[in-house]
Structure 1
Amino acid sequence: MQNSFFKAIENKTGVSMEELFTLANAISYADFTDEKQVRKIVRKVGKLANKPVSKELEDQLTNSILQKGSSLSLSDIEKLM
């Protein structure tokens, strides 16, 4: 992809492409049956989105993701957020 495409995304979201690629990589290789790993990803997504994630919301998202386990897709995560 072209650099201007990435710059446009960075300008619109305020999130660097490096951070997005790091998150995408973490999600790609994540074990969605590991609660500790799921919680880490939930917190990271909240931080990147600049959205506060309360303990209750973190619990709800984590439990929902853990129920789906390895069948979870990026699309599923987007729907949860």
Structure 2
Amino acid sequence: MRERRGDSVFDHISKKTNVKQDDLFQLVQSLQGADFKDEKTVRNVIREVARMAGKRVPKEKEDELVQAITNQNIPMDFASLNKWFQSK
């Protein structure tokens, strides 16, 4: 596997979710330029991430995530995201 900047973050996510790093990189690349103010786009992303991780996201949690993301009430850098998710 080629060396990537920030591999430790993706390695950590991969281990916690059982999602391959290459799949994570593909997801990240597919999100570049995505409109995170668009509810439909955000819902599709949440569902894709849940599918990849083999997890079910309850409707209430999906609504909460959509609201936070579309209103830009969620941090978008890895360090802040990590802290945000640990506090939930």
TM-score bin (small chain): 0.5 to 0.7
Structure scoring higher RCO (CA < 8 A, sep ≥ 6) equals: 1
Moved more, 57-66 or 47-56: 47-56
Query: TM-score by structure 1 length?
Result: 0.66
Secondary structure at 2:54 match in 1: coil
Structure 2, unmatched stretches of 5+, are: none
Q: Residues 39, 56 of structure 1: CA spacing in aligned structure 2 closer, same or farther, 3 A cutoff?
A: same
- 1:45 matched to which residue of 2? 49
Please say if 1:63 is aligned against 2:67: yes
Please say if 1:33 is aligned against 2:42: no
Which ranges of 4 or more aligned residues in structure 1 deviate by more than 4 Å? none
Query: TM-score by structure 2 length?
Result: 0.62
Q: Assess if the C-alpha contact under 8 Å between 1:46 and 1:52 holds in 2.
A: yes
Count the aligned residue pairs.
76
Identical residues among aligned pairs (%): 34
Secondary structure at 1:53 match in 2: coil
